[in-house]
Amino acid sequence: MQKKILWSILALFVIVLVGVFAYSTYTHKEGTVIDRRLTMEQRKVYEDRITESKASLASLDKTLKNYAMQAAVWHLNIGQLYFGLGRLSHALEEFEKALVLDKTNQNIYVSKSLVLTEMKDFAAAKTTLEEVLNIEPRVADVWLRLIEVHKTMNDSVSGIEAVYSSALEKTKRHVDILANKAQYEEMLGNKKEALELWKEALVEYPNNSGYTLEVERLSK
């Protein structure tokens, strides 16, 4: 049974990641840190939540049958809070602790990959995303993240095309990947291929105005 990725738990993560490379990343006694330009009040919110989460983790009953799974979720939560605070090394450490406890939670791998991407360790981010896909290969959002990492690493066109091919196969030609590949093909100048991909996406969602506009535009 497919295990759903709880994207809601990553909502704060994604918001913080937007425009991430505009911030300065540096290293000091706390490890790799990124300046989120938070106000003192915002920092206090994060720090208070980290303290509360650590207390909840410490009080967790270790005799519970699912202790490891619950503890992993707390480490995941703490790691995401550290990420929001900009303390990347601390965030990565929490995700590593979570994975020791639960190697099946896809959210942990995705969260870890986001931190590694921000730390510009793209090779490690790529490996981490591939680990997610080994657990559940049908998640389109993870494939799209992996594709972006390949692009950031300046992979060859043939290499990126191979990832797209695998993504389309494993997700049964998910419409989000069709649309993303259509944009990529047009960027390469392959308008005919892009048009066919948009048409295929439109078949899946015939009422999507965006897909309709793309088909009409490339058909001229």
Residue 2, Cβ neighbours under 10 Å: how many?
Answer: 8
**CATH classification (class only), 137-220:** mainly alpha
Q: What is the pTM of this model?
A: 0.81
The pLDDT tens digits of the residues spanning 36-73 come to 999 999 999 999 999 999 999 999 999 999 999 999 99
Residue 27 pairs with which residues in a beta bridge? 32
The b-or-e profile of 172-210 (16+ CB within 10 A means b, else e) is ebbbebbbbbbebbbeeeeeeebbbbbbbbbeeeeeeee
What are the angstrom distances between the C-alpha of 201 and each of 8, 45, 128, 172, 174? 26, 42, 29, 12, 8
Query: Rounded to an integer, what distance in angstroms lies between the CA atom of residue 160 and that of residue 156?
Result: 6
CATH of 1-119 among 1.25.40, 1.10.1740, 1.10.3470, 3.40.50: 1.25.40
The pLDDT tens digits of the residues spanning 195-219 come to 999 999 999 999 999 999 999 999 9
Averaged confidence pLDDT in the chain: 89
pLDDT at 31: 72
Q: How many Å is the Cα radius of gyration of the chain? A: 20
Residues forming CATH 1.25.40.10 domain(s) in the chain: 137-220
Structure token pair of residue 145: 């993240």
Q: With a cut of 70, which residues of the chain have pLDDT below it?
A: 1-30
